[in-house]
Structure 1
Amino acid sequence: MVLELKHLTGGYSKEPVIKDISLNIKEGEIVGLIGLNGAGKSTTIKHILGLLRPHSGTIEVRGKTLKEDVEEYRRHLGYIPESPILYEELTLKEHIEMTAMAYGLTTEEVEKRKGPLLKRFRLEDKEDTFPSHFSKGMKQKVMLICAFIVEPDLYIIDEPFLGLDPLGIESLIELMISERDKKRSILMSTHILSTAERYCDRYIIIDQGEKIADGSLDDLREKTGLLNATLDEIYIELTGGNVDE
């Protein structure tokens, strides 16, 4: 198992945001973490990354908890946040080099991996450019390149499509499918269900801090009795039509 959460309860204060969540991610699958803003998706991700301490429950990555082995735990993870976080004084090339240094990549590995990524996201002529000259979408692409160059066992992606143009979205989807085919796994948080429906192998639905469903689209259709329903329709049925606050 690449990732396993067992009865995770937690949040930012004594009052829990997520309650008794258990889930797992297997090798070589794309899993959509589904829910509207405020459902608990980002809180769950922050716990997996070790940015929040659980009130109770455990989180294991490749069988290790953060407490048991911090370096081994984090070595298997690549993270792409919802909003790009870049250093204004570093060029695109220097962001790649800094990421490589953090994950212990060799110069040969970086040179082999970065070319296809730069070409995929149409940034091959921007290596010496600073973030101040990038649009929001280009900054998001820098984050994607830095995460995918690491080639971790598990990618955690928080609302990846915000700020990307249609070509960027297609490039990201193609890349995620390619990584899945190489037996790497992806946990992707999103509330854009029509896009997630196209390529996710499985969906974990969170509503008001609780996991209410887990399965493939066919599994969820069977669970709800909506045999030809879209993921949007299934979500509305399962949550009672909850909308964004």
Structure 2
Amino acid sequence: MKVENISYRVNSRILFDHISFDTSNSGLTLITGKNGAGKSTLLKVLLGIVQPYSGSLISDEKVSYVPDSSDNYFIGLSPNLLFEFLQKQFFIETNLFEERLRELREQFYLNEKLMTQTIQSLSLGEKKKVMLIAAFLLDSDLYVMDEPLSGLDQVSVENLIHLIEQKINLGKHFIIVSHERQEILPTVDQIISL
């Protein structure tokens, strides 16, 4: 993804101005800033959910998105239904899908009981695990994640960091918004401060 001079305004307030970066030579791009600085909005601009005030972005990668909260997503769905939908929507071969899902559920300790509950009824950490599993099921080129470590237990944090490192070593790219200390994450190639 190549971002050139992206700006975003809300009424007369400038949230961010002339942001430029390129993920093609970066495994991990970290976006930091205070609350209200526009980090989540920048991710939504990058994903095409909202339009920038000015600037351009070029992206032809397959993208997976992990929002900070799932409260407005997946209403009425269980993890099972969400994962089955993704398999059908993205034409993931059944054996490959089942193997990926099994591995990811083991890494994030998502047990069978949770698979049939509605996503809204899950705890914050369980919701985050569902969203992470959904993102990694798609085996995308670019992963865009908003606070992916929030709500996770220590073992799941360690497993997520290991998984990110593995994907980067396979040539995948990450754009992550995080309040966490930079040292917790794998090697950060570029930092965008808002």
Q: Check whether TM > 0.5.
A: yes
On the 8 A contact 2:145/2:176 being kept in 1, the answer is yes
C-alpha deviation, 1:135, in angstroms: 1.8
C-alpha deviation, 1:182, in angstroms: 1.4
Match of 2:135 among 106, 126, 147: 147
Matched, 1:206 2:193: yes
1:228 corresponding residue in structure 2: none
Give the Cα separation in 2 of the matches to 1:45 and 1:165: 25
- Secondary structure in 1 matching 2:112: coil
C-alpha deviation, 1:28, in angstroms: 6.3
1:34 corresponding residue in structure 2: 32
C-alpha deviation, 1:144, in angstroms: 0.5
Alignment of 1:148-227 (within 5 A): 148-196=136-184, 198-207=185-194
User: Which one has the largest radius of gyration?
Assistant: 1
Residues 62-109 of structure 1, C-alpha deviations (whole Å, 9 max, x = no match): 3xxxxxxxxxx6xx1100011124535322211111222333323233
Residue correspondences, number: 192
On the 8 A contact 1:39/1:206 being kept in 2, the answer is no
Measured at CA, do residues 109 and 28 of structure 1 come closer, stay the same or move farther in structure 2, by a change above 3 Å?
farther
Give the Cα separation in 1 of the matches to 2:38 and 2:23: 18
Give the Cα separation in 1 of the matches to 2:16 and 2:26: 26
Give the Cα separation in 1 of the matches to 2:12 and 2:91: 37
User: After alignment, is 180-189 or 13-22 more displaced?
Assistant: 13-22
> Could you tell me the TM-score, scaled by structure 2's length?
0.88
With a CA cutoff of 8 Å and minimum separation of 6, indicate the structure with the bigger relative contact order: 2
- Secondary structure in 1 matching 2:57: strand
Task: Please tell me the residue identity of whatever aligns with 2:109.
Answer: R
Matched, 1:90 2:88: no
On the 8 A contact 1:28/1:182 being kept in 2, the answer is no
On the 8 A contact 2:101/2:137 being kept in 1, the answer is yes
1:221 corresponding residue in structure 2: none
> Could you tell me the TM-score, scaled by structure 1's length?
0.71
C-alpha deviation, 1:142, in angstroms: 0.4
- Secondary structure in 2 matching 1:17: strand
Unaligned runs of 5+ residues in structure 2 are: none
Alignment of 1:19-58 (within 5 A): 19-26=17-24, 29-58=27-56
Match of 2:59 among 36, 58, 61: 61
On the 8 A contact 2:29/2:192 being kept in 1, the answer is no
C-alpha deviation, 1:39, in angstroms: 2.3
1:107 corresponding residue in structure 2: 94
Task: Please tell me the residue identity of whatever aligns with 2:32.
Answer: I
Task: Please tell me the residue identity of whatever aligns with 1:186.
Answer: F
Residues 184-224 of structure 1, C-alpha deviations (whole Å, 9 max, x = no match): 1111111212444x4133232323xxxxxxxxxxxxxxxxx
Alignment of 1:101-140 (within 5 A): 101-126=88-113, 127-131=115-119, 133-140=121-128
2:67 corresponding residue in structure 1: 81
Task: Please tell me the residue identity of whatever aligns with 2:93.
Answer: T
Give the Cα separation in 2 of the matches to 1:186 and 1:118: 21
On the 8 A contact 1:28/1:181 being kept in 2, the answer is no
- Secondary structure in 1 matching 2:96: helix
On the 8 A contact 2:182/2:188 being kept in 1, the answer is no
Give the Cα separation in 1 of the matches to 2:95 and 2:12: 47
Measured at CA, do residues 19 and 132 of structure 1 come closer, stay the same or move farther in structure 2, by a change above 3 Å?
closer
Unaligned runs of 5+ residues in structure 1 are: 63-72, 208-245
Give the Cα separation in 1 of the matches to 2:112 and 2:189: 37
